[in-house]
Chain A
Amino acid sequence: MISTLLKRAALAALLAAAAVSAHAAPNTAKRVQAFAKLPDWSGYWIADSIHETAGSLLDVPKVKFFGDIPYNPTWKAQYDKRRGELREKEVKQCIIDFPTTMESPQPFMLTVTPEQTIYMAGDGTFRQIFTDGRGHPPKDQLFPSVTGHSIGRWEGQTLVVDTIARTPGPVLFLGAAAFSEQAHFHERISLTGKDKLEDEMTIDDPVALTHPWTVKLGYDRTTLIDRLDPYYCELDDRIGFQDGKMVIKPPSDAGK
């Protein structure tokens, strides 16, 4: 009995020591130095091209990914058709893709570490931009996703990003730009002021575009919020469908 208790006490002490050890492991001097070189992109950011009203309908003539895109005639016709249908069709689309997310009205945060920069938007969309020296996966291990696969490197305080394997169009986000499976995205992200961030993005898509297209996206660091409020569009949105028709779901306390 005493032996058993001693064994349990010894095991507990070992586990406690291991736990303390794990939590106490400090960053290496090399990693601390790497952190010190990184820019301060803390806080919450919002695209400066968005014009809100208190209503849910937004007129956003300055938003690049809903604007004049140098499509070739075939892709331009498809783009115009989708946007025309959007005026009259009752449709809902919860996927927010890259690059559309970079102009979302939802705020986002950037967590910058030596190994990767993590983009997290209020709608739940996230990107991992690896800066640990890895390349893109080989083709047989590279499967498309709505935000693609991103690798980057630091040029001083500028994050240079290379993204491929973004799920091809035609429709990911309502009315937004579509790109082919060959789309290649090049970004240069840097501060242009204390609370100003810029993403200069060049999109090369020989299938959809007549030429590489460069857009400059601007962001403001906002103090209006101190957290993101995540949601699940399909669950939390009260606009739904019934018998093929768009309807407003009753409030959650209806009938109570």
Chain B
Amino acid sequence: MLFRVTMVCAIALAAPMAAQAHHSYAMFDRSKTVTLNGTIRQFQWTNPHSWIQLTTPNDAGGTDEWSIEMGSPFELLRVGWTSTTVKAGDKVSIQVHPVKDGSKGGGFVSGTDAGGHALGGGK
């Protein structure tokens, strides 16, 4: 129960542009925010995007693995993240804009650690 996935329909955003990017954001549903409670399996501190691989329990008693896209390492550095902000085994709660096709992926919005502190300072 602790690690269940919660889907929240957020207010539709004003559709700001996915500018300064080498791919559009159309694959992600920006009208929805999903809260994922799970365990970090891997934090890929890589260009052009960093990724969090997060395992969450599913209704069948197993686990799912989510791929969560973030900005580049330099972009993350500028908002307070480092390559060790999260590490394998950390329990976290992460909000994402989910992939529209229902696969286990999303664009990072925000996150907190097990103590409720905003990851990377919350920016």
Contact = CB atoms under 8 A, between A and B. Distances in A.
A251 B51 contact: yes
B77 interface: yes
B110 interface: yes
B107 A251 contact: no
Contacts of B103: 247-248
Contacts, number: 165
Contacts of B75: 50, 52, 54, 105
A134 B19 CA distance: 36
Nearest to B108: A55
Interface in B24-71: 24-28, 30, 42, 44, 46-49, 51, 53, 67, 69-71
Interface string A125-146: 0000000000000000000000
Classify the interface of chain A: helix, strand, loop or mixed: loop
Interface centre among B46, B72, B108 (most CB of A within 10 A): B72
Bin the interface of chain B by size: 35 or more
A119 interface: no
B15 interface: yes
Given A52-B75, A54-B119, A245-B101, A237 B21 contact: no
A95 to B, nearest CB: 8
Interface residues of A, number: 52
Interface in B65-88: 67, 69-79, 81
B26 A57 contact: no
Contacts of B23: 91-93, 174, 237, 239, 246
Contact of A239 (B44, B49, B53): B49
A231 B107 CA distance: 21
A44 to B, nearest CB: 9
A41 interface: no
Contact of A233 (B17, B22, B105, B119): B22
B20 A50 contact: yes
B12 interface: no
B71 to A, nearest CB: 5
Interface of A: 46, 50, 52-60, 63, 66, 83, 86-94, 96, 103-107, 122-123, 173-176, 224-225, 229-231, 233, 236-239, 245-248, 250-251, 253
Interface of B: 15-28, 30, 42, 44, 46-49, 51, 53, 67, 69-79, 81, 97, 99, 101, 103, 105, 107-111, 119-120, 123
